[in-house]
């Protein structure tokens, strides 16, 4: 069974630009969550999607948005990039999104904003 796949693995963008990251969950998994990982803050929750609906959102500005498609693939978009958005963005999928469900993580997309 293929794991969670995130593309691209690395990105370099300029301040003010926008970026779209992609996540393909494990086959059969319907819940996809996104996290921002930085050395000082650890992993911070961005949002979670289940069956194309956003069920929960973290404390990030509106520049961060996401969506989920009918095949459960998810995209995350960040507009008007700031230097502080430089981070590793992780995607995780779970089968049903239940609270006791193990989350399977992708390898992440490393975004560098210059």
Partner 1 sequence: AQRVTQPEKLLSVFKGAPVELKCNYSYSGSPELFWYVQYSRQRLQLLLRHISRESIKGFTADLNKGETSFHLKKPFAQEEDSAMYYCALSGGTYKYIFGTGTRLKVLA
Binding site for partner 1 (CB under 8 A): 3-4, 31, 33, 35, 40-45, 48, 50, 55-56, 58, 90, 92, 97, 99-100, 102-107
DSSP 8-34: -SEEEE-TT--EEEEEEPPTT--EEEE
Residue placing its CB nearer to partner 1 in the complex, 92 or 111: 92
Return the ∠ at Cα 92 (arms to 73 and 83), rounded to 5°: 95
Q: How far is the CB of 35 from partner 1 (least distance, A)?
A: 8
Looking at the Cβ atoms of 6 and 85, the one nearer to partner 1 is 6
Nearer to partner 1, 5 or 79 (CB): 5
Q: What is the largest CA-CA distance in the chain?
A: 39
Return the DSSP state at 84: G
Minimum distance from residue 16 beta carbon to partner 1 (Å): 30
Task: Give whichever of 21 and 81 is closer to partner 1, judged by the CB atom.
Answer: 21
Question: Pairing between strand 104-105 and 42-50?
Answer: unpaired
Instruction: State in angstroms the smallest separation of the CB of 76 from partner 1.
Output: 15
C-alpha span between 25 and 72 (Å, rounded): 7
């Amino acid at each position: 069974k293929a794991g969670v796949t995130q593309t691209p693995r690395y990105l370099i963008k300029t301040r003010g630009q926008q970026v779209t990251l992609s996540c393909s969950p494990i086959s059969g998994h319907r819940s996809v969550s996104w996290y921002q990982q930085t050395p000082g803050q650890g992993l911070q929750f961005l949002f979670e999607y289940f069956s194309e609906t956003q069920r929960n959102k973290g404390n990030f500005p509106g520049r961060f948005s996401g969506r989920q498609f009918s095949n459960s693939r998810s995209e995350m978009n960040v507009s008007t990039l700031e230097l502080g958005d430089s981070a590793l963005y992780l995607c995780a999928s779970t089968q049903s999104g239940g609270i006791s469900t193990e989350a399977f993580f992708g390898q992440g997309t490393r975004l560098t904003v210059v």
